[in-house]
Structures are given as structure tokens and as C-alpha cells.
Amino acid sequence: MISLTCKEDCCGCNACGDICPQNAISFQEDNEGFWYPQINKEKCTGCGLCDRICPIKYIDQLKHNDLPEPECYMAEHKSIEVVFSSTSGGMFSALADVMYRQHGYVGGAIHNEDFSVSHFISNEKSDIIKLRRSKDLQSNAEGFYKRVREILNSGEQVLVCGVPCQMAALRSFLGKDYKNLMIVDLICLGVNSPKVWRKYLDYIEEKYKSKIVYTENKSKEYGWRNLTQKFIFENGEEAFDVASTSAFIKGYVGTHLFCRPSCYDCKFKGFPRISDITIGDFWGIEKYDQSMDKDLGVSVMLINSSKGKLYFEKASKRIFFKQVPLKWVISGNPALSTSITKTMDKRDMFFRDLDNKKFDEVIEQYSNQNINSWRDKFNSVLRWGWNYLKFVKKIVSTTRLNPKALYQTIRYSGIKNLLGQKGILCGTNCVLNISKRAILQFDGLLVLGEKTRFPNSKLETRLLVANSARLTVKGNMYFAYGCDIEVFDNAELILHGSKYGKSDTNIGCTIICGERIEIMSDVGMGRNVLIRDNNGKHYMNTLGYKDSRPIIIGEKAWLCEACAIMPGVKVGRGAIVGAYSMATQSVPAHTLVSGSPAKVVSENVLWKC
């Protein structure tokens, strides 16, 4: 019979519940949201099976494999659609596809309707959409081990993926090696509390005033390195939470606040691996092979067994791959061999406050408690100083210390704004005509005439803000050289700038604002893009004709080379206006439009900015 005296001795794999022939074991959540086995002594016969299959107790017997050292590969799926839909390079999809083609079963973690996570297995290829992507919290595997054994014993082929403790539990539960079983484990930093995850979702729903209907981890729309959590809400809106803003990521990756107690001394690190194949993110890829690094995610794959090697050969035609040394893999993934550090000694207080205070405030409070050593404080000051020096370097590289550029920057920004990294930063050859009656509002930096590739170019950049016109800058926005921005009398131009990605234009952008133009955050523009909300006070005898109508460019829209956005157009979030197209009607979100006038040619389009 299991006798649990220390929570660190239970990884929550659920295998003991599945092995019990009397159904005497249930799982009860503690105040942290983690489940632990509870024995019904009236049902228990004392057979000891639960104790004998515990992966933590018998890790030494489980930890073996038939290759002396893993064969290591960097890899990326050949389908860009699969890469976009995966945590990193799409290796799980490649491995699963082999099994589906053999009419076998694939098992792994899925989100339930309430966004809790459980393990699931099927032979339906359409289920790959639910199975791929990591979930970053503990997965409930009750009933899963029994189901896998049942399928294996019927002679079916099976591929199963999970965190190392679960895969060790599966091996222990089965008690023998099955030729028709392929075990894949993940490089695991640690499993998070399902309770904390639910609190995080509640916080996001409260923040955006709508119920979440879909979420995905590591969305690629703002790049792989941003660790972006994407949310779609009941009201049709979307939101993103990136590593720099996410309280959940700060508590997980940054300070390891809410991982399971057993994760701080994980018994499943190191080598040999218990699985046939190990997959994960290839962190540090930019140091070894920049040709593979598109910031869309590259996978690392460790082949741990002869059986895994044969299976990899079947999957290899679906992927681009290169063999790499094991030391490269370990340098970017210390979680392969090292447990996370326990950074807080007030865990009980943290979980108590989590029930009574706002999620983001609790994470901030307890994360900051970790910054208590002189070294942490010194590093914090050092980071601040480094960021400030980078900004000074930005001023120097943009203005090139040109007296006119420096004068215009200081004149229209002010020293106080500039020190706060707000205002206008002028490059050389900028011509500014800003009325004394214009209204300028800065909560970000407007960079004009940036010349990164041709610093000696004399191409002019112009900005006009006329009488009673309003220019509002809400985030950092970059205009390359050769741009022409004109805000006429009483008109309003609102630039939201960068939020998660980068808002910038290429050479020759023209914005003619006679009424109101609003460009939302993270919009990208190619060369010679035209945005104009007016027809220059030319009139036509056409029913309903108006000389000017407001324009809105939605978040993360992409305006390709030489496209034109005409009066009254609203470009939806994430939409793409194709090169040399003219948008005369509103563009739906996540569509690609092309032509003159522009028509929808593709829907459900996602792109990385």
C-alpha cells in the first residue's frame, strides 16, 4: 500500500490508481491544485501493486536504454502550416503521422472543455489538432494507462507522448516492453498547478470582459521566442499574452513559483532517457545554424533507443533535419539534466493569497520576493543601465549626431519626454512642419527617417501636423526614410505603435490624413504603401459620396508593397493586403486580399510579424 509522507515523493502520474484491481485509489486535490492518491482502506486488499509500479521509487530499474548516447538532431517539419500549429518545429506531428498511416493510435495531452488538461488516445488523425502543442500544466492521466495496455494487448500500434514522469509510469505500469509501442517524452521544465492555470484564465477573462473559447500555447504570430499565449473570446475578440507581459510565464519560467513539489528534485532528469524518442525546443539554435532559425521554432530530437531510431527513419522524410552534438542540446536545454530551483520559501502564503487577491498582483508580489540578494539587485540595476545605454545608442545611430536632427528631436520631444523614451526621434534629412496649434501626445517613440541600410542616403522624410491637428503616439513606431506623413487642419492621426512585435514601415510610406486615421499596434508596411482617408477635396456627383472617411488599420495587419488603403476602409486584425492592391472596401480579419479593387483570396490566414 502507498504510504505518502512527503509530497515531494509523488509526481502525480496517476498510475497507482490505474493499477489498483479494487479501485481503492482516488485522487484528491490539495490547496495548491495538485492531486495525490487517497487509499480507501475498506476496499484495499494490501496487494502492493500500487507501491510496486511507483516510478519515483523504482526509477533506477526504469532508467535504461540500448543506445550508449542519444543521437541528436535539430529538425523542422516541411509543412509551414504544421510548424505554425506546433509548439516548436512540429516533430510530434511528424511522428504521429507515421502512426496514423499505420492505422495506429496516438496518445498525449489535450485541453478539456474547461481548459484543464488530461491524457487522451485515439486513432483518428483529426485529433492531432488537439494533441499537438504543449499545455504547460499537469495532465490528468486517470484511466489512460489501462486504455493504452488494452490497445496494445489487442495488437494495435501505439505512440504515446508525455512528460518524463508519466512515460516512466507507463513503462512501470505495463511491466514489459511492447514491440508495438513507441514512447516519446518531452523536455520538461516542470508541471504547473492546474489551480494556478485556472486562476490565470479567470484573470484574462476578467481583464478582457469575455469568456475564453479557445487558447493555444506558443502561438507563432509574434514569433516563437515570445512564448505567446493566444486567446479567442466568446465576443469574437482576440488577445495575446507574451513572455514580457505574462504573469503566468513570469511565475513559471522566471521564478518557478507554482510547479509541483516533486519537480524541484525531479528523478527523471539526465541519461539514459526512459523513452524511445525525446522532443523539445532547440533553444540556442541561432548560435549554431542561423539558416534554420526563422523564429518559428526549431525542434530538438533525441533518439534514445534502437526502436526509436527505426521509427525516426520513417518520419524523416517529413522533416528537414541535421545531426548535432549532444552538448549543443544540453546547453540550450538544461532542463534535460537539471531540476528547477526552488526560489521561494513562502509557498503556503502564496497559494493562500492566490485565493484572495488578484492573480497578477500575487505573481508580482511573490516574484519580487526572490530579488533579495545583492547579486539580484546588482543584476537588476545592470539590466536597467544596459537598456538605457541601448537607447542612447539608438539616438546616436538615428540622428548620427546631426545638429538639425538633434535639434528637431529635442524641440518636439522635450528633454523629459526623451529621457522617458517618448516623443519624436529624427533621423538626418527630416523635414518637420508642426503648427504651434497642433496637439502632440506621446506615450511612445515616433522614429522618423530611420536609415539602417543606407546611412548616407539623402532621401527626405516629411511630417506635417497642421493647425488644430492631433498626432497621438501610443507606442514605438518606426518610419523609414522617404516617408511622407501629412495631418491636415483639424484631422487626427493615432499611431498605436508596437505592443508585442514591431510597428514599422519600409521606404516611401505615404499617409494623408484629412479626417481620422488610426493605425493599431504591430502593423507592418512594405515599400511605398499609401494610406489616405480623403480625396483632396475633389467631389463627384455620386450618391453617398464623401470626400473623406476615417480609416482603421487593425492590429497586426500587414500592408504589402505599393498597396493603397482608400477612404473609409477598415483593415481587420491580422489581415494582409497584397502587393499593388487597392483596398476600397473593408478587409475582414485574418484574410488575404489582392487585386484592384482588392478581393478576398484566402481566409483564416496567420502570419508571423
Res 4 pLDDT > 80: no
Residue 1 confidence (pLDDT) above 80: no
Helix axes 374-399, 403-413, angle to 10 degrees: 120
Assess whether pLDDT exceeds 80 at residue 333.
Answer: yes
Q: What is the mean pLDDT of residues 146-163?
A: 98
**Torsion angles phi and psi, residue 182, rounded to 5:** -120, 120
pLDDT category, 220, cuts 50, 70, 90?
very high
* Residues contacting residue 183 through CB under 8 Å, at least 6 positions apart: 160, 167, 170, 171, 274, 275, 276, 277
All three cell numbers of 19? 493499477
pLDDT digits (tens, 9 = 90+) for 511-530: 999 999 999 999 999 999 99
**Which segment, 319-328, 357-366, 500-509, is predicted with the most confidence on average?**
319-328
Pick the residue with more confidence: 345 or 267?
A: 267
d(CA 333, CA 326) in angstroms, rounded, equals: 10
Summarised one tens digit per residue, pLDDT across range 82-131 is 999 999 999 999 999 999 999 999 999 999 999 999 999 999 999 999 99
pLDDT for residue 371: 47
Higher pLDDT: 547 or 42? It is 42
Tell me the pLDDT tens digit for each residue of 554-565. Answer: 999 999 999 999
Query: Which position has the higher pLDDT, 117 or 371?
Result: 117
Per-residue pLDDT tens over the stretch 375-388: 666 666 777 778 87
Beta strands 470-473 and 492-495 are: parallel
C-beta of residue 395 within 8 angstroms of C-beta of residue 409:
yes
Find residue 456's DSSP bridge partners. Answer: none
Compute the mean pLDDT over every residue in the chain, rounded to the nearest whole number: 94
Percent pLDDT > 90 in the chain is 84
Rounded to an integer, the average pLDDT of 203-228 is: 96
Is residue 469 predicted with pLDDT exceeding 90?
yes
DSSP letter, residue 204: H
So what's the pLDDT on residue 193? Answer: 97
Confidence of residue 536 (pLDDT cuts 50, 70, 90): confident
Query: What pLDDT, on a 0 to 100 scale, did the predictor assign at position 375?
Result: 60
Dihedral sign for Cα atoms in the order 209, 219, 129, 335: negative
Check whether 168 has a pLDDT greater than 90. Answer: yes
Closest of 344, 35, 335 to residue 193, by C-alpha: 35
- Dump pLDDT digits (tens) for 43-97: 999 999 999 999 999 999 999 999 999 999 999 999 999 999 999 999 999 999 9
Q: Which of 256-260, 372-376, 415-419, 518-522 has the lowest mean pLDDT?
A: 372-376
| pTM assigned to the model | 0.92
Closest C-alpha to 593, from 576, 574, 573: 576
Half-sphere exposure of 29 (CA within 13 A, CB side): 10
Whether pLDDT at 373 is above 70: no
Is residue 594 scored above 60 in pLDDT? yes
Q: What is the per-residue pLDDT for 524?
A: 96
Nine-digit cell at 134? 504543449
**Secondary structure of residue 222 in the 3-state scheme:** helix
Under 8 Å between Cβ of 74 and 289: yes
